[in-house]
Amino acid sequence: MLPAQHGGGEGKVAIIDTEGAFRPEKIAPIAERFGVDCESVLNNLLIARAYNTDHQMNMIRDLAAIMMEEGPFAILIIDSMTSLFRVDYVGRGELSARQQSLGQMLSKITKMAEEFNVAVLITNQVMSNPDGGMTFVSDPKKPVGGHVLAHASTTRLELKKGRGDCRICKVVDSPSQPEAEASYQVCKKNQNSCF
């Protein structure tokens, strides 16, 4: 992987994909941009597809053993943390059980991050706020997972669509960064302006 002097983590990447969204063909342009061999990058990715919350929890448990045997790992990516919880725990009647299960999973992830010194990137989903239509809130969407997920996260970023091909990244909460926004665009080399 990318050496530390070039901003890399010098370790493997573990990805738990809960939505079937990972596309290996997207790795080639990223590897090319950083001057790294694509095949080498792909060989350092550990990718697993989870199909329900029990499967996701088992993968997290198994991953700890893999990190001990095959390390070092630099980052764990879970895309998306909450999508399977929305499927397995439906309605407000199961909200308490969902939040307890989510909290247990986040606790295991936090312990793994500390034990193996691995960064964790979690993507999340948003949902319409059932109370949002009754207030004058400009954006009636709220993150799935509520306070349980918010308190388990060190830095929370909100990514949203901007004008045209631009996107906006907002620092929602961070112990080391003020709340702020920045525009960005994912594009080919030497095309980096959103304005």
- The fraction of the chain above a pLDDT of 90, given in percent, is 58
Chain centre distance of CA 113: 14
189 pLDDT band, cuts 50/70/90, is low
Residue with tokens 């920045």: 182
- The fraction of the chain above a pLDDT of 70, given in percent, is 89
Overall average pLDDT of the 142-170 stretch: 89
CA–CA separation, 181 and 171 (whole Å): 6
In this predicted model, which residue has the larger pLDDT, 106 or 194? 106
Burial class (CB in 10 A: 0-12, 13-18, 19+), 6: exposed
56 pLDDT band, cuts 50/70/90, is very high
CA–CA separation, 60 and 76 (whole Å): 10
CA–CA separation, 83 and 47 (whole Å): 17
Residues 109 and 154: beta-carbon distance below 8 Å:
no
Question: Is residue 192 over pLDDT 70?
Answer: no
Overall average pLDDT of the 108-131 stretch: 89
CB atoms within 10 A of CB 122: 19
Question: Is residue 134 over pLDDT 70?
Answer: no
pLDDT at 95: 87
Its pTM stands at 0.84
Overall average pLDDT of the 156-182 stretch: 93
Overall average pLDDT of the 47-67 stretch: 95
3-state DSSP of 138-175: CCCEEECCHHHHHHHCCCEEEEEECCCCCEEEEEEECC
